[in-house]
Structure 1
C-alpha cells in the first residue's frame, strides 16, 4: 500500500484542481434532491448509547495542516513544508484576517449571478499531491470556516481533491443558501456521490470547525466536535487520483464553486 508520507519529487502548479486539459465539471450541491447516483443521509447522530457505532472513528495522525499564519504573499506552507499552496486568480483577490491570534484567508465575496464569467474567482492550489490519496483507509479532513448569512451561494467548496465525474474525490463544501456543510466522497471507477449533509447551518457570522471522517462503511460530518450527519459507504470504496489539493474552489473557471467567507486551520489526517 502506498505510504501516506511519500514526498513528491516536484510540485508543478496547475491551472485548476486537475490537469489544464481537464474540464471542471459542475458538481451536485448536497442541498438538492439526491439523484439515483447519490447516497445522502443527513441529520444529527443519535445520542443513545449506540451512537458511537454510528459515527466514523476520528483518525488522529496529521498528514497536512495549514494555519496561514505566515500570510499568503508567497508559497503557503503546511506545518511540515511538504505541499506548498499558491494563489490562483481570475479577477478575484485573497486577503488575510485575524483569527485566534494568527491569520485566516478571506476569499472573494459572492457573485450576483453565480457562475458568470465576470465573477471574481481566487483559490489556493497545490501541485501534484498523490501522497494525500487515502485509498480504502480511514481518514479525516476539514477546516475552520467563517461564513456570514449573506455569503452563501449555490456552490462553495472549502477543500477538494479530485472530481466526482470520471475520477475519485474527497471534498468539504458549504453549498446552498442555507449554508449547511457537507462531506463528499466518490470512489475510483464509481458513479455514486456519497454525501454526509449536516443538520444545521454554519452561515451565522461565527467561526465553526467542520470535520469529515471516513471509516470502513461510514462518512460522518461533524460541526464543532459534534456529529451532525452521516452516510453509509461501501467498505471497498477507494479514493486515488493524480489531482492537486484546492482550497476555496475547484479551479478558476466560471463554474469553480467559489467559496466566500474565511477559512483557517485546514487539515488532513489518517489513522495511525
Structure 2
C-alpha cells in the first residue's frame, strides 16, 4: 500500500511538471520596453483601417524596387505626409509597416530628395539626452524575417547630416540591442560625423564596429551601406569601402525585435538621429 501511495504521488508531481513546461512554452517572450506589436504581413494597422491618423502609402509606381529577400523604404508618398500622427508607413513591398513614435512634441517631416521625398527627424537638442528633448522615430513590429543568422547580408540608407547636427549618438537603422540580445545597426555617432556599422551576435557580448575613415556631416546626401560577409564587416560611403573589421564566421544575429529608423526608441537617451533619411534597405546577400 505504501508503494502504491508513493507511485501515485510521483505521478501527480510529474503531471504538475508537465503542466508548468507547457505553460512556459506558450508564454510570450518578454520584449524590450521600447518595442511595439504590429502586423508584419503588411496589413494596415487598426488605427489606419479606422481612418485615425493614417499616413499615406508609397506610390505604387515606385514600388517595383522591392527586394524579395529583404525590404526597402522609399518614403515617396502620393499624398500629404503627417509625421506628427501615429499612423503607418509601408515599405515598397508592403511587408513591414512602420509607425511614427514620438515624445515631447517631436515630429517627422517630408523633404524633397532625388525627385521624390525623404523624411527629416527632429532638430538637434541643446542638451543631449534630456527628458525635454523632442524625439521621433519610425518603428515596426517584430521583424523575425529580417534576421540574417550567419548568412551574408547588407543594410543601410541615404542620409543627409549637417556639421551642426552631429551628436554623441545618432542611430540611422537598428534591429536588436547590444546587451543580452543580438543586433545590427548603422549609426553616425560623435562630433566628427563618421558613420559606423555595428553587429552583435547571439553567442556573447562582443560588439563589432566598422568605423568609416571619413565624415558624412557635410550637408550633402550620402549613401551608406553596411555589409556582412563570412568573416568581415564593412562600411561603404557612396559605393567606396571606407572601413572594415574582422568578425567570427560563426556569428549569428537572430531576435524578435522591431526595425527602428532614426533612433532606438522614445526614451530620453534614445540616440536620436538629426538630419534626413531616405531609401532605407535590408537585403540578403552582402
Q: Deviations over 1:206-248 (max 9, x none)?
A: 0000000000100000000000000100000000011000000
Structure 1 alignment gaps of length 5 or more: 1-12, 20-59
Using a 3 Å threshold, how does the CA distance of structure 1 residues 18 and 162 change in structure 2: closer, same or farther?
A: farther
Q: Cα offset for 1:110?
A: 1.2
Matched, 1:142 2:156: yes
2:33 and 2:225 map into 1 onto residues whose CA distance is: 27
Task: Return the TM-score normalized by structure 2.
Answer: 0.74
- CA contact 2:74–2:118 (8 Å) conserved in 1: yes
Which residue in the other structure is 2:91 paired with? Answer: 78
- CA contact 1:76–1:86 (8 Å) conserved in 2: yes
Q: Deviations over 1:94-125 (max 9, x none)?
A: 10100011100000111111110001100000
2:212 and 2:285 map into 1 onto residues whose CA distance is: 23
Q: Cα offset for 1:61?
A: 6.5
SS of equivalent residue, structure 1 residue 150: helix
Q: Deviations over 1:16-54 (max 9, x none)?
A: 2478xxxxxxxxxxxxxxxxxxxxxxxxxxxxxxxxxxx
Task: From the two aligned structures, give the one with the greater helix fraction.
Answer: 2
Output the aligned Cα RMSD.
Answer: 1.8
Selected match of 2:109 from 77, 81, 95: 95
Matched, 1:66 2:79: no
2:130 and 2:270 map into 1 onto residues whose CA distance is: 10
1:15 and 1:164 map into 2 onto residues whose CA distance is: 14
Runs of 4+ aligned residues of structure 1 deviating over 4 Å after TM superposition are none
1:108 and 1:183 map into 2 onto residues whose CA distance is: 23
Task: From the two aligned structures, give the one with the greater strand fraction.
Answer: 1
1:234 and 1:181 map into 2 onto residues whose CA distance is: 22
Matched, 1:251 2:265: yes
Matched, 1:175 2:175: no
Greater length-normalized contact order (CA 8 Å, ≥ 6 residues apart) = 1
- CA contact 1:182–1:196 (8 Å) conserved in 2: yes
- CA contact 2:203–2:251 (8 Å) conserved in 1: no
Task: Return the TM-score normalized by structure 1.
Answer: 0.78
